Structure 1
Amino acid sequence: MKTVTSKTDRRPITPDWDPWDPWYTRSEKGQYELTSVEFTVTQLCNLRCEHCAVGEMLVEREGIPIPVDQLIRKLDEVETLRTISITGGEPILNPQVVKETIRPLLRYARSRGIYTQLNSNLTLPLSRYEDWIEDLDVLHISYNYRGPEDFHRIVFAHSKQDVPFKTAEMLYNRMVDNARALSKAGVFVSAESLISPFTAPHLPLMHRHIAEMGCVRHEVHPLYPSDFAKNMELLSLDQLRETILHLVDQRDPDVWILFGTLPFYPCSDRPEDRELWLRLHREPNITVRHDPDGRNRLNINVFTGDIIVTDFGDVPPLGNIHTDRLIDVFNRWLSHPVARKHHCYCPSARCTGPNILVAQMYYSDWNFRKRKAELSVVEH
């Protein structure tokens, strides 16, 4: 495929500049702002992964989406908008979704100088990506496998029918080949791995695979109980810490590692947790992304128009684009009791507090707003 050219003269995405991270507006403006909107553009998917965070919402037939010009009018109201994310399901499974929703959103974002990300399992033919990929900033994929055998077990765990191994092997090989081809063409491919009891011992191997595919970034997130994953075994904090350190010790220094929804904080009473925080903030080419959900991002369902704080299943929709302005919904969320409970801030430690699911899982007895960082990562 042809080489993807530079989008604009915008600041490039690097470990020093992650436009999805709410840290920047919080530290610069003294408050959170709505800078990111995520669209759920489809509920179709050709896979049924065991860890899927939206699995029970997946359908066999697509509904009728809200016209894209109506979505764009809502985005026009957000002067602070910096990023747009597109997710599903598998966003490019339905060519009509690509033509009528995804491509117009990407072109709109490009016209405003807004950064874009699309989440895909990358198992469709390469030609399905080639006619719109040049307008995209980040192609986000999942990689939780040692090879096609793992892929077969994981991605069809909730399939209603038995899927032959040969089919899974073909899809796995296509995903790897696509990642290599797109990376070689200059696409920013970011591969995400979840830390689970299965992946924990094999993360360094998966990291090497990701590096071999040419991916610019490896995102690492602990597994949390949501949707299909709600009954999966979770690791203890000690196990998570050991896994993270093992990966950092064996990483490819040329691959950016981004840790998200990290369950360790600079206000911890445990010195080993504070040491981990310090190391991750001092190591080159490693970043800790602060939780965007509800700090700078809202999610819009393009079928219902519901506006939610992404990934928080226990917080009901906060509004609907048919009746509400996005900025009003975001401000409504900032005054919500759940937000007020978790939106703490320690600038010297570069910390904006916990993801809500993390706090509920591991720190249910903590009041984060009454705690203070026991360290500093800021150079004086």
Structure 2
Amino acid sequence: MEKYEMEKCRITPDWDPWDAWYTRSEKGKYELTSVELTVTNLCNLRCEHCAVGEQLVEKDGIPIPIDFILNRLDEIETLQTISITGGEPILSPKVVKETIIPLLKYAKSRGIYTQINSNLTLPLSRYEDWIEDVDVLHISYNYRHAEDFYRMAFGNFRKEVSFEVAKSLFERMKENARTLSKAGIFVSAESFLSPFTAPYIVDMHQTIQEMGCKRHEVHPLYPSDFAKGMSLLTLQEYREAIIHLLDHRHPDLWILLGTLPFFPCSNQDEDLTLWKRIFVDESNVTARQDPDGRNRLNVNVFTGDVVVTDFGDIPVLGNIYKDSLTEVFERWLAHPVAHKYHCYCQQARCTGPNILVAQTYYPDWVFKERKALITLD
């Protein structure tokens, strides 16, 4: 075996290679196992909830040569996953040919898992020649019908877009998801919970199941960029929405609760009950321990800047022109913000909060001084 070769297991509720829990619990420390690459700032939508919307442009800059990026990735012996994001990564055929396909081939040669984030509204032919090399095709789904999509997806668009065009894109997204799912592609649909989506989350869950998706991801609305002005759920409302979804979910559709805003060190019994239900009582339900800043960094392929996440407010940590990614990751682990939020409770299977979630919902909590009040068998 080559020094980088890894055995690649099937992604299931028992094995989510993006989850920071595995390395932290097995190694006793965080390691850089995941890199997210922002490969474009172009997008054909301007969603009202977009957490990177202010970075979107009409024309991309000149990217760093892909061979240089691959050499930087090759330095990371612990690398297990690569995520490809934007913007809409598939919008530019040049980006697909010169950046995405080489990244996928590289990952395949190393046995590395890959995810690409796409709105899936482009013609199916734009995906067919290379999508089989992607482990997870991640889409967003926050709509009841085409009217919702029209309002939400073009909420910040500067050009006039007709409802007929929006409806066509909406139907294409759903049909593409069905077709690719039938072809064996792992399609994972993410919904954010907000005052608008929470009442309809079960309906969205049903549609996601009908599209053939393998997984339904549920996250908070991240108050970043375009989404900064949107209303957030209270913790009580969020808890009620999750419980409602669990009570009415499709049993064969994996639910992944990302950046869950509840913790086993809570003094509220309903939080502890929910934590136990998610981790012990339910099948096909998981809560991913936050990868951002625990086992993942984001790289901008135009500037080379390295940050904790593509939608956070932590200043740039380094640049791949002068820093190796492992050096940047060690620098981050020594950062005061990392020290503030990198708590860990083995007995409760918790690695602490997402930074944005903590700042939004728990500004007064000192997480590292708290202890889990529940033990999972």
CA distance in 1, matches of 2:345, 2:217: 24
Note the 1:283-298 alignment, pairs <5 A. 283-298=282-297
* Post-superposition offset of 1:163: 1.0
* Post-superposition offset of 1:162: 2.1
Q: Which amino acid aligns with 2:203?
A: L
Note the 1:219-230 alignment, pairs <5 A. 219-230=217-228
Q: Which amino acid aligns with 1:267?
A: C
Which among 55, 58, 65 is matched to residue 57 of structure 1? Answer: 55
Contact 1:312–1:356, Cα closer than 8 Å, also in 2: no
Segments of structure 2 that go 5 or more residues without pairing to the other structure are: 1-5
Q: State TM-score, norm by structure 1.
A: 0.97
CA distance in 2, matches of 1:229, 1:375: 34
Segments of structure 1 that go 5 or more residues without pairing to the other structure are: 1-7
Contact 1:218–1:258, Cα closer than 8 Å, also in 2: yes
1:141 alignment partner, SS class: strand
Q: Please say if 1:345 is aligned against 2:344.
A: yes
* Post-superposition offset of 1:9: 6.2
Contact 2:194–2:220, Cα closer than 8 Å, also in 1: yes
Q: Which amino acid aligns with 2:309?
A: T
CA distance in 2, matches of 1:311, 1:181: 30
Note the 1:262-301 alignment, pairs <5 A. 262-282=260-280, 283-301=282-300
CA distance in 2, matches of 1:304, 1:10: 32
Which among 20, 32, 35 is matched to residue 33 of structure 2? Answer: 35
Deviations 1:138-192 (A, max 9, x none): 0000000001110000000000022110000000000000000000000000000
Give the percent of matched residue pairs that are identical in Structure 1 and Structure 2. Answer: 70
CA distance in 2, matches of 1:344, 1:222: 20
CA distance in 2, matches of 1:61, 1:310: 22
**Aligned residue pairs, count:** 371
CA distance in 1, matches of 2:147, 2:47: 14
Deviations 1:73-115 (A, max 9, x none): 0000000000000000000100000000000000000000000
Contact 1:140–1:191, Cα closer than 8 Å, also in 2: yes
Contact 1:312–1:357, Cα closer than 8 Å, also in 2: no
Residue aligning to 2:137: 139
Note the 1:287-326 alignment, pairs <5 A. 287-311=286-310, 313-326=312-325
CA distance in 2, matches of 1:313, 1:370: 24
Q: Which amino acid aligns with 2:60?
A: E
2:199 alignment partner, SS class: helix
Note the 1:1-380 alignment, pairs <5 A. 10-282=8-280, 283-311=282-310, 313-377=312-376, 379=377
Give the alignment's Cα RMSD to 1 decimal. Answer: 0.9
Contact 2:35–2:297, Cα closer than 8 Å, also in 1: yes
Contact 2:255–2:284, Cα closer than 8 Å, also in 1: yes
Q: State TM-score, norm by structure 2.
A: 0.97
Change (3 A) 1:312 1:89: closer
Contact 2:312–2:356, Cα closer than 8 Å, also in 1: no
Return structure 1 stretches of 4+ with deviation > 4 angstroms.
Answer: none
Contact 2:138–2:188, Cα closer than 8 Å, also in 1: yes
CA distance in 2, matches of 1:167, 1:235: 31
